[in-house]
Each structure stands twice: as C-alpha cells, then as structure tokens.
Amino acid sequence: MAGIQGIPHIAVDRCKGCGLCVSVCPQSVLAISDGAVNVKGYQPAIVAEPERCIGCTSCALICPDVVISVERIPVKKEVKS
C-alpha cells in the first residue's frame, strides 16, 4: 500500500523547548528531551518516534522559532495480515 512518510527536522540549537510542537502533533512523534540541553540551555524538542510522522506540518506551523522543517516521501507500507 502506498503512503506518505513525513520527516521532521529539528534545528536543535534554535529550539527554546516550549513544547508547543509536541502538544499539537497528532501522531505523538515529538517529545521534549528529558536530559540533554542545547547551546541556549533549553531542553529541546526531539524526534522520538520518527516512523509515525505523517508530514502534516502542524508542528512547524505552531513553532514560534521556525525550528522545524518537514519533508514528505512516498513509501510502500506493508499491509499486515
């Protein structure tokens, strides 16, 4: 079955860890890092479940710091029997 795989890219050192992207992702792809901090000293957003992304761009639309870019690639998804 053909489908779409989304790929969110996070420019980690621009992130302020606000969590808005995490809150709007319908697929629970994103999370806030629970340890690592970025160059600004914030705990940034991370791509926790990359294979779940559908490329909807909601995360990028709500990010106030334009940290996220999104790609879409067509994929063949195996139909599970």
Partner 1 sequence: MSVVFSRTKGLTEAETHYCPGCTHGIAHRLVGEALEELDLLGNTIGCSAVGCSILSYNYINVDMIECLHGRAPAVATGIKRVRPDSIVFTYQGDGDLASIGTAEIVHAAHRGENITVVFVNNAIYGMTGGQMAPTTLAGQKVTTAPAGRNPVINGMPLKVSEMLAQIPGAAYVERVSLHSPKEIRKAKRAIKKGLTCQVEKRGFSLIEVLSTCPTGWGLSPVDAVAWLEANMVPYYPLGVLKAPEGGKNV
What residue type is assigned to position 7 of the chain? I
Binding to partner 1 by CB under 8 A, coded x per residue (else -) over 34-63, reads --------x------------x-xx-xxxx
Nearer to ligand SF4, 3 or 54 (CB): 54
Coarse DSSP helix, strand, coil percentages of the chain, rounded to the nearest 5 percent: 20, 30, 50
Cβ-based neighbour number of residue 10 at 10 Å: 20
Binding to ligand SF4 by CB under 6 A, coded x per residue (else -) over 7-46, reads -x-x----xxxxxxx---xxx-xx-------------xx-
